Amino acid sequence: MKRLVLLNISFLLVFCACNSEGDSKNKVILAKGGKVYGGVFKLSMPSKPSSLFPYSSISYYEQQLSSQIYETLFTTDSTQKSVGNIAEKHELLDGGRTFRIHLKKNIFFHNEGGNLQSKDVFFSLAFLCSSLKENNYSYLFIDKIKGAKSFYEKSKTSPFDPNSFEGAKIINDFVIDVYLTFPFSQFSQLLSHPNVVILSYEDYKNNNARFFKNPLGTGPFILEKITEEKTVITRNGNYWKYDEYGNKLPFLDAVEAYCAVNERDWFQSGKLDMIQNISSEKLNSLFGNLDDAISGKNQPHRLFQLKNKNLNFLVYNTIFPPFDNKTNRQRVHSSINTLTLCENVLDGDGEPTKNFFVPIYYYRSLNSAVQEINAVEETWGNTLKAGDKINFFVNKNTSELGLKWVNELILQIQANAGISINLIKGSNEDFERMWKKGEIHIAKYGWAADYPDPDSYLGVFYSRSTLAKQISFCSAQYDSIYLNSFRKSNRLDRLTAQLACDRFLIQNTLVSPLFLQDFIFVVNINMRDFKVNMEGLLDFSCVFYKPVQKLN
Q: What is 4-52+219-300+525-545's CATH topology?
A: D-Maltodextrin-Binding Protein; domain 2 (3.40.190)
Angle formed by the axes of helices 491-507 and 476-485, nearest 10°:
160
Among the ranges given (103-117, 312-326, 341-355, 516-530), the one the predictor scored with the smallest mean pLDDT? 341-355
The CA-atom distances, in angstroms, between 244 and each of 36, 82, 141, 547 are: 14, 21, 36, 21
Residue 520's pLDDT is what? 85
Residue 195's pLDDT is what? 97
Residue 264's pLDDT is what? 83
Tell me how far apart the alpha carbons of residues 122 and 163 are, in angstroms, rounded to a whole number: 9
Q: What's the 3-state SS for 216-276?
A: CCCCCEEEEEECCCEEEEEECCCCCCECCCCCECCCCCEEEEEECCCHHHHHHCCCCCEEE
Residue 493: count other Cβ atoms within 10 Å of its Cβ: 12
Rg (CA), the chain: 24
- Span 482-515, pLDDT tens digits: 999 998 888 899 999 999 999 999 999 999 999 9
User: What three-state secondary structure class fits 41?
Assistant: strand
Confidence of residue 13 (pLDDT cuts 50, 70, 90): very low
Tell me how far apart the alpha carbons of residues 303 and 7 are, in angstroms, rounded to a whole number: 5
Tell me how far apart the alpha carbons of residues 285 and 347 are, in angstroms, rounded to a whole number: 14
Name the residue among 122, 167, 120 with its Cα closest to residue 143: 167
Query: Cα-Cα-Cα-Cα dihedral of 351, 352, 354, 360, to 10°?
Result: 20
Among the ranges given (124-128, 155-159, 449-453), the one the predictor scored with the smallest mean pLDDT? 449-453
Helix (H) or strand (E) holding 522: strand 511-524
Tell me how far apart the alpha carbons of residues 129 and 150 are, in angstroms, rounded to a whole number: 9
- Span 238-272, pLDDT tens digits: 999 999 999 999 999 999 999 988 888 898 888 99
Q: What percent of the chain has a predicted confidence (pLDDT) above 70? A: 86
- Span 203-219, pLDDT tens digits: 999 987 889 999 999 99
Name which CATH class applies to 307-517.
Answer: alpha beta
Tell me how far apart the alpha carbons of residues 214 and 228 are, in angstroms, rounded to a whole number: 17
Given a cut of 60, whether residue 290 has pLDDT beyond it is no
Q: What are the sequence ranges of the domains in the chain? A: 4-52+219-300+525-545, 71-211, 307-517
Residue 20's pLDDT is what? 40
Tell me how far apart the alpha carbons of residues 66 and 53 are, in angstroms, rounded to a whole number: 8
CATH 3.90.76.10 fits 71-211, yes or no: yes
Residue 519's pLDDT is what? 84
Confidence of residue 23 (pLDDT cuts 50, 70, 90): very low
What is the rounded average pLDDT for all residues in the chain? 88
